[in-house]
A and B are shown apart, each in its own frame.
Chain A
Amino acid sequence: MSGMGSMLSTDNPAIVAAFHAALAKQGLIILAIVMALAALWIVWRSQQVQPELGRLRELRAVKAVDGWRGEPDRRRARTAVPARTAAEPAARRLLRIGFGILWVFDGLLQAQPAMPVGLADRVTVPAAGSSPGWVQHLSNWAGLVWDSHPVGAAAATVWIQLGLGLWLLAARTGPLSRLAGAASAGWALAVWAFGEAFGAIFAPGLTVLFGAPGAVLFYAAAGAAVALPERYWDGRRMGRVILAVMGLFFAGMAVLQAWPGRGYWQGRGGTLTGMVQQMFQVSQPGWLSGWLTSFASFVSAHGFAVNLAVVIVLAASGLAFLSMRERAVRFAVVVAGVFCLADWVLVEDLGFMGGTGTDPNSMIPITLLLAAGYLGLTRPGVPAAESARPAASTAPAASAGPALFPRAAATAGAWRGIRGTGAVAAIAVVLTGTIPMAVASARPSADTIIATALDGPPASVNYPAPGFALTDQHGREVTLASMRGRTVLLTFLDPVCTTDCTLIAQEFRDAGTLLGDWSRQVEMVAIVANPLYRSPAVVQAFDRQERLDQVPNWLYLTGTTAQLEHTWKAYGFPVQLLSGGGGAAERSSGGMIGHNDIAYVIDPHGRTRLEIETDPGPGSAATMSSFSAELAQAARQVSGS
């Protein structure tokens, strides 16, 4: 019925099923790629290892005859096994593994069924709600891209984030590892800009307690650190840099938290109380809800004290990080870690509840960075040139003695190979998500799955289309028979409708554009669906309003009330004057005409082949584009059949 547009729910069965199917399909592709890579690796490994084992057997045979002679064998062994690279600094390893695990977790969160429909409308676009116009514009653009390809975008995000995580985990050192860091930083920045509205840093009310300046900004920072050449990790330099940046961040957030007039010193009705109460609305386990309730009551009663504690912890920790003194930093990392944990549970509500949570929010990444800074300060990285010398003397099994310990050497080489193959497989996972999404984004229209999800798929039928003889917007007589030889997209529109009919008209217009050259074989026809407002002037005004007056194959047909009623009846198309019913509502009370939203696709032989429900639902740019694509696809299908 006109104006009764339904919304797209996050658990829409068609969308969820398509999402799962896409994940399964792409998962199989990834499995095939991984298996192929594994097979290649096995073949390559066997070719590399066989000659090497032969040399080792020969070496053993020589040793058995001549006894151990030391140095010459060692030299030979070094030629058999690739030179050892420097050990990965502990801080870098923590960042790489920690953020690798976070990306994997985020990727799994992206696989939640509510993501295709819910992410843009519930998470990313609202996140920009209080930001400046240009941020909202950016966020809306990204939201439109997501909403136009909800299944493809959601599946792509799953694989990209899973792939990035696995890539970071697999590639320990070397160019592939640094590339993983760079890719991680790039994706995180994209998410930060388009998905998190820059962490709301341009919006009022910025606070670290609620995730500012955006969780993924910390992912980006960590990725950038991992992407740096190994030499940057030599010594304590990276530890100092990380701690300095985090120290400044904590101090800045302390100043912001203490800034008067922002509502954080207030208990009841204050900003923090409001934030905690806001989290009640998210579906979550009972125990967590209980904790939040208690904490909200506490903050409401002791708002000033809570904020004072927050300011002190932030300021003191920040200063301690900036001091670079080991004991102070250690103590501050522990205190800040506890603070982050408490905030993560009590204020950020773990960050990933509610069905559309995308990540565990900012406190876990912050804690990882703090720990990495501490490790960088206390366990400095060893330059590669230096690491080789002492390692050779202290760890003979790993470096100097592959010839003496062939099994260990083979195992180490195997692990390197597995990691390398894993990294390549992870890159394949990322590309599996990226390529289909890039292809979908390049399409001029939204996916038809949205229209299907709203109104169901087009119904295949096969019956003679009822004929009609009406007048077009230019006053010319038009019959259905006169359109033989061309496919007819037929619908019924109320020219003075304020809602659905205008949207459907726009969908027809855009379908004509999508048809391109095919449009020469298609007539797009609407018949007036209002017994009162049916004059050519009204029809022309509607055409001008919807810019249909410039569409060459558009016909808007009208006629006498009797002619129209005859046509409505022939197509089983009910038209009624809406009223509220009851009492004085026996008379009109300002309502529009009630009618179905339906389109018929009539083939060149005059037979109706498809019936398409065209209730435009929310009438968003994405849903309208989807309906246009569905209409164009249906016209092509019937024209080509």
Chain B
Amino acid sequence: MSVRRSRPSRASLMIACLLACLPACTAAVAGCGAGQAGQQTLSAVTIAAQPQLSVPVTSSAGTWAVVPMGTSGTNLFWELFLRPAGTARWALVTPPGVADNGGLVAAVGGGLSLTAGFRPSQHLSFSPLAATADGGRSWSALPGVLPGGFAADPDALAAGPGGRLLGLTAADGGTLYSSADGGGRWTELIVAPSLASEPAAQACRVSALTAVTVTASGTPLAGAACGRPGAAGIFSFARSSWQPAGPALPPSLHADTVRVLRLTTTQAGTAAVLAASANGGNYVVGAWARAGPPGSPGQHWTLTAPLATGTAQVLTAGPGPGGEIYVLLRSTGAGRLEMCQTPGSRWQCFPAVPSRTVTIVPGPAGQAEALAVHGSQLTVWAAAPGHHSWTAVQTIKVGIPYGSSG
């Protein structure tokens, strides 16, 4: 029987070539996996220095606080609580009718006790709004909606006199809308790229809009993140144009890029919290603006001393109801609360806040409340000035509608 044989020389050559390629191929395959793992590690180390939406605001009706409760995702619901003026007890007053898994933003002023906006979540891409004039006992839906939905900034909604509302969305790095009729109709006021191209904003090189407020005199103010070091991006809108209104930073921060974390107007005036960062470290600076002529608050800012935050994350920060600047920090251990009561005073460090504290409500004369959440339970802790501990003063059990949002 004759059998054809393959030529050994050619076969050997082919096998030798393939064998030579084998380690390279396997190394390439192994390398693919290693590269992906490396990318995941890199993306996981990003730290956002952006305060939560859980902040208190104060109106004539009392002090309001937005608090996230439940678990996570579609089982996390944002609740609104009110401590009526002159009382010490908090009560649940969340506006009904919308699943608020995306977050709530709230603003006082404009003649109503409080206006609340629902952030987009799941398939809802715009923001409905509600208002109450009776301390949250009843809510009415505002006729209009904010197109695009509120940005994830605690000062994305501001209310001013005469029913004026300002709303900030995340589109295009921040788009500011204005409503002159109490939320019935919204018109675009400015987008971040347009503001960045304004001559008045050249010194800041605006990269994003981060906060909005209306001064007591009715002047809209917008806070921004600046790309140019040493500039604080606060701008006022007067006579149909934007003007720089931000505070001048101390020389120690001239190399830092600054982001406006909070910008709000309380009964005590307009105040801001700025986050500054550079290679030298991270700082938080509080700023108060004395009420001045419209369009010129920048000339009257007073700054706190820079508070070095190191690698700690800013959980929440803001001007309190009385204008106190507070910052809640968290690093690896317990939360750390720092508060600066008045211009010229020093940062005061409070005892370690209770675990699961999500927001701080500064009180008069150095007092503070810490709102801590465990699932569906809110615990209110109080610390008096000079005390070295927090005391639980109230517990509220909230019926979270688990499972109703997806």
0/1 string, B367-380, CB within 8 A of A gives 1 = 00000000010000
Interface residues of A in 540-585 (CB under 8 A from B): 541, 545, 577-585
B334 within 8 A of A: no
Given A382-B1, A532-B96, A579-B399, A541 and B145 contact (CB-CB distance below 8 Å):
yes
**Residue of B at shortest CB range from A212?**
B29
Which of B18, B122, B145, B406 counts the most A-chain CB atoms under 10 A from its CB?
B145
Q: Contact at B404–A248, with CB atoms within 8 Å? A: no
Q: Which residues of B contact A580 (CB under 8 A)?
A: 376, 398-402
B118 within 8 A of A: yes
A115 within 8 A of B: no
Q: Contact at A498–B97, with CB atoms within 8 Å? A: no
- Closest Cβ of chain B to A225, distance in Å, is 16
- Closest Cβ of chain B to A572, distance in Å, is 22
Q: Contact at A204–B34, with CB atoms within 8 Å? A: yes
A380–B37 CA distance with the chains assembled, in angstroms: 48
Contact of A240 (CB < 8 Å), options: B6, B33, B69: B6
A68 within 8 A of B: no
**Residue of B at shortest CB range from A534?**
B141
Q: Which residues of A contact B398 (CB under 8 A)?
A: 580, 583-585, 589
**Residue of A at shortest CB range from B137?**
A587
Q: Contact at B403–A4, with CB atoms within 8 Å? A: yes
Q: Which residues of A contact B184 (CB under 8 A)?
A: 537
0/1 string, A200-233, CB within 8 A of B gives 1 = 0111111000000000000000000000000000
Interface residues of A in 409-449 (CB under 8 A from B): none
Q: Contact at A530–B15, with CB atoms within 8 Å? A: no
A251 within 8 A of B: yes
Q: Contact at B5–A236, with CB atoms within 8 Å? A: yes
Q: Contact at A532–B32, with CB atoms within 8 Å? A: no
Contact of A499 (CB < 8 Å), options: B77, B123, B401: B123
Q: Contact at A590–B78, with CB atoms within 8 Å? A: yes
Q: Which residues of B contact A23 (CB under 8 A)?
A: none
Q: Which residues of B contact A201 (CB under 8 A)?
A: 29
Q: Contact at A235–B22, with CB atoms within 8 Å? A: no
A502–B78 CA distance with the chains assembled, in angstroms: 21
Contact of A255 (CB < 8 Å), options: B18, B23, B34, B403: B23
B396 within 8 A of A: yes
Q: Contact at B126–A541, with CB atoms within 8 Å? A: yes
- Closest Cβ of chain B to A199, distance in Å, is 12
**Residue of A at shortest CB range from B35?**
A204
0/1 string, A600-619, CB within 8 A of B gives 1 = 00000000000000000000
B236 within 8 A of A: no
Q: Contact at A498–B122, with CB atoms within 8 Å? A: yes
0/1 string, A226-258, CB within 8 A of B gives 1 = 000000001111001000100010011001100
Contact of B397 (CB < 8 Å), options: A236, A382, A578, A582: A582
B26 within 8 A of A: yes
Q: Contact at B143–A386, with CB atoms within 8 Å? A: no
A588 within 8 A of B: yes
Interface residues of B in 304-358 (CB under 8 A from A): none
A197 within 8 A of B: no
Q: Contact at A532–B97, with CB atoms within 8 Å? A: yes
A237–B95 CA distance with the chains assembled, in angstroms: 79
List the 8 shortest-distance A-B pairs measured between CB atoms, nearest first.
Answer: A585-B399, A204-B33, A580-B399, A588-B96, A591-B401, A590-B77, A502-B123, A592-B99
Give me 5 A-to-B residue pairs in the complex whose CB atoms sit less than 8 angstroms apart, sorted by A's number: A3-B403, A255-B22, A322-B15, A579-B401, A589-B398
Known: A202-B32, A537-B144. 17 other contacts (CB 8 A): A3-B404, A204-B34, A204-B36, A235-B6, A248-B15, A322-B19, A382-B1, A496-B124, A498-B124, A499-B406, A532-B139, A533-B128, A537-B185, A579-B96, A585-B398, A588-B96, A592-B405
